Structure 1
């Protein structure tokens, strides 16, 4: 039984697709195109699209690097969540936004795979959400210079692998390619 039976809707999360975050990201153009296609589909199917935007000392609120990439644009009626931690739920209004829309399942896209994407996936799962990672709609940069033992492509592949086998009681965690995304309500 789902942990949120009174919240059957799905939402598309677009996390941190900001100029300064994805300028050097792995497979950037393809990921942006996949996310743009998902945003168009979600809008056509009246599925909530929730935008998440990070800021901190390095990614300054209001700067050019802080802005979303030009290929992705938010409609005025779509929520924008400002965050300063990896987990998009941490000290934000994301939970309130999702609850108001009856959302219990998330389609997760964006950047960076090995930081904010992973944190948000785990944050959503422990809060009771069914959480789907769109396997070809997230990206990261090469962090080996900071000590990562793997490059960007490997980080994306590894996250897809381990999320495919994740889960918790009453909750689903899996991956799906862009063309396999289903926005149908749970039930």
Structure 2
């Protein structure tokens, strides 16, 4: 009996350790090769995880619907500016991969972001033309090689990054972009965070690393 208890304890501890490792890996920004800004004069708008799974969620860890409406309105204004000035608009959507992580997502977050979810599409309130739609499995959008390929092809060196959540996928993507030498900007009005207090601290850390915070019109730069 004690042997079975011991084996069970080891298995539980191993699962806990693996979960902690997986979470850390999921949110850790990637490094990547430094870009040459002199060869990347263009700008792009990058929209993170603005999917129905997250924007229409209810209950624990859900966003205030009124705040979601306000944020999407701000993002739509950015999309309009980008469309009018010829900047590419890139959406990046979360689709979790792996049996274990999707099991956790199923039980802890109602399957949101899982490959079988019905809410993986962009929120229908998002207006304007989306030039590229990329899916990712980790928080950092640069973990998906297709993003860097798109940015390289279009000589993008300046990124305005918006979406959700400011404390997770948005900040991880910003950090990864800064790690690669991109000029990064954002707007509070176009970023959702379940925990606004933590977002204030996250925003300060991003600003310390060089990310620029400004209003919508001021941060939109034509290609």
TM range (shorter): 0.7 to 0.9
Q: Return the match for 1:88 from 125, 141, 145.
A: 141
- For 1:145, the equivalent position in structure 2 comes to none
Q: CA RMSD in A?
A: 1.9
Greater share of residues in helix: 2
- What TM-score comes out, normalization by structure 1 length? 0.82
Runs of 4+, deviation exceeding 6 Å: none
Is the 1:36–1:72 contact (alpha carbons within 8 Å) kept by the matching residues of 2?
A: yes
Task: Please say if 1:157 is aligned against 2:200.
Answer: yes
Is the 1:83–1:92 contact (alpha carbons within 8 Å) kept by the matching residues of 2?
A: no
Q: Which ranges in structure 2 are unaligned for 5 or more consecutive residues?
A: 1-34, 57-61, 97-101, 103-110
Q: Deviations over 1:64-109 (max 9, x none)?
A: 2211111115646x11111000100103310010010110010000
Separation in 1, partners of 2:154, 2:181: 15
Separation in 2, partners of 1:177, 1:74: 19
Change over 3 Å in CA distance of 1:136–1:155 after alignment to 2 = farther
Greater share of residues in strand: 1
Give, in angstroms, the shift of residue 161 of structure 1: 2.5
Larger radius of gyration: 2
Separation in 2, partners of 1:97, 1:7: 12
Is the 2:163–2:190 contact (alpha carbons within 8 Å) kept by the matching residues of 1?
A: yes
Task: Please say if 1:178 is aligned against 2:216.
Answer: yes
Is the 1:54–1:85 contact (alpha carbons within 8 Å) kept by the matching residues of 2?
A: yes
- Written as runs of structure 1 = structure 2, the 5 A alignment for 1:11-160 is 11-23=44-56, 24-26=62-64, 27-56=67-96, 57=102, 58=111, 59-61=113-115, 63-73=117-127, 75=129, 78-141=131-194, 152-160=195-203
Q: Which ranges in structure 1 are unaligned for 5 or more consecutive residues?
A: 142-151, 168-172
Separation in 2, partners of 1:33, 1:92: 29
